[in-house]
A and B are shown apart, each in its own frame.
Chain A
Amino acid sequence: MRMTRSIAQQSFDALLRSQIVWMFITIFAVLVSVSAYLGWSATHTVQSIYLDAVQYFESLNQEPPTNPVLQTSPLALMRNMVTYISLIGALAAIIVGHQLVANDKKSGTIPLLFTHPISAKQYAFGKFWALGKMLFAMSLIVTIFGGVLLLVLPAVQIDETRWMQFIAFVVLSWVYMSIFGTLALGFAARVESQSSALLMPILFLLIATFILPEVTGNIHPTAAINPISALAATPNSGFFRISSSLIGMLSLEEAYLYQSAKLLDFLPDALAYRSPIPPIFTLMSGLAGSIVCAYLFIQKMLKTTGDFNV
Chain B
Amino acid sequence: MFKSTIRTIAQKDIKLSIRDQFILLATGFLTLAALISLVTGAIALATDVATYEHAKVTLLALGKSVDQLAAPEFYPLKLMRGAVEQIEIMGAIIGILIGYRAAIGERGRLTLALILTRPVTRMQFLGGKFLSAFVLIFGGLALVFFVSSLMLYFISGVGLNAVDYVRIAITWFCASIYIMVFFTLAFGLSLHLKTPSHALLYSFIIWLMVVLIAPQIGDTLDPDNQVAGGVFKQLHVPKAEEDRIKAGYAGFESIRGGIEAASITKHFERFGFAVLGIKDTYTGVPLADILKEKSSDFWWIVLTELGLAVLVFALPISSNRLTKE
Closest to A56 in B: B241
- Cα–Cα, bound, A268→B210 (Å): 29
The reply on B21 being an interface residue by CB < 8 A is no
Number of interface residues of B (CB under 8 A): 55
Instruction: Please determine whether B200 and A41 come into contact, CB atoms closer than 8 angstroms.
Output: no
Are the CB atoms of B82 and A220 closer together than 8 Å?
yes
Q: Mark interface residues in A5-24 (1 if CB within 8 Å of B CB, else 0).
A: 00000000000000010011
- Chain B nearest CB from A45 CB (Å) reads 5
Given contacts A56-B241, A195-B100, A214-B82, contact A220 B37 (CB under 8 A): yes
* Minimum CB–CB distance for B93 against chain A, Å: 7
Q: Which stretch from B6-14, B211-219, B300-308 is at the chain A interface? A: B211-219
Measured CA separation A84–B46 after assembly (Å): 34
Q: How large is the interface on A (under 10, 10 to 19, 20 to 34, 35 or more residues)?
A: 35 or more
> Does A46 contact B223, Cβ atoms closer than 8 Å?
yes
Indicate if the CB atoms of A65 and B46 lie closer than 8 Å: no
Closest A residue by C-beta to B107: A310
| A218 interfacial by beta-carbon distance below 8 Å | yes
**Residue numbers in B under 8 Å from A221 (CB-CB):** 37, 82, 85-86, 88-89
CA distance in complex: A80, B220 (Å): 8
Write out, one digit per residue, whether chain A residues 31-66 have a CB within 8 A of any chain B CB (1) or not (0). Answer: 100100010011101101110110010000000010
Q: Give the chain A neighbours of B228 by CB distance below 8 A.
A: 228, 268
- A240 contacts B by Cβ under 8 Å: yes
Q: Is A130 an interface residue (CB 8 A)?
A: no
Give the CA-CA distance A229 to B230 in the complex, in Å. 12
Cα distance A268–B231 in the bound complex, in angstroms: 16
A202 pairs with B204, CB closer than 8 A? yes
The reply to whether A83 and B93 form a contact with Cβ atoms under 8 Å apart is no
Instruction: Let me know if A235 is at the binding interface, CB within 8 A.
Output: yes
Task: Give CA–CA (A150, B315) in the complex, Å.
Answer: 48
Q: If A95-B201, A206-B93 touch, does A218 touch B44 (CB 8 Å cutoff)?
A: yes
Q: What A residues does B252 contact at CB under 8 A?
A: 45
Please determine whether A68 and B231 come into contact, CB atoms closer than 8 angstroms.
Answer: yes
Does residue A222 face the partner (Cβ distance < 8 Å to B)? yes
The main secondary structure of chain B at its interface with chain A is: helix
Docked-complex contact B220 and A220, CB < 8 angstroms: no
Q: A87-B208, A225-B216, A226-B219 are in contact. Are A53 and B40 (CB under 8 A)?
A: no
Q: Is residue B227 within 8 Å, beta carbon to beta carbon, of the partner chain?
A: yes
User: Which residues in window 247-271 of A have CB below 8 A to B?
Assistant: 268
Q: Is the beta-carbon distance between A237 and B44 smaller than 8 angstroms?
A: yes
Q: Is B142 an interface residue (CB 8 A)?
A: no
**Closest residue to B226 on the A side, CB-wise?**
A42
Task: Give every chain A residue within 8 A of B236 (Cβ-Cβ).
Answer: 65
Q: Is A236 an interface residue (CB 8 A)?
A: yes
The answer to whether the Cβ of B36 comes within 8 Å of any Cβ in the partner chain is yes
A191 contacts partner chain B, Cβ-Cβ < 8 Å? no
Supposing A221-B88, A235-B44 touch, asked if A65 and B221 sit within 8 A by C-beta, the answer is no
Complex CA distance for A29 and B85, rounded to whole angstroms:
27
A204: interface (CB < 8 Å): no
Chain B residue nearest to A243 (CB atoms) is B40
A100 within 8 A of B: no
* CB-defined contacts of B82 to chain A, threshold 8 Å: 214, 220-221
Q: Which chain A residues border B81 with CB–CB below 8 Å? A: 220
- Across the interface, do A20 and B221 meet the contact criterion of CB distance under 8 Å? no
B208 close to A310 (CB less than 8 A): no
| Chain A residues in 8 Å Cβ range of B319 | none
The distance in angstroms between the C-alpha atoms of A24 and B236, with both chains bound, is 44
Contacts of A20 in B (CB 8 A): 198, 201
> Other than the known A38-B221, A45-B221, what 16 A-B pairs have Cβ atoms closer than 8 Å?
A38-B220, A48-B249, A49-B232, A50-B235, A53-B235, A56-B241, A202-B204, A206-B90, A215-B40, A220-B82, A222-B88, A225-B216, A226-B216, A235-B44, A240-B43, A310-B108
Closest 4 CB pairs of A and B: A237-B47, A221-B85, A218-B44, A42-B226
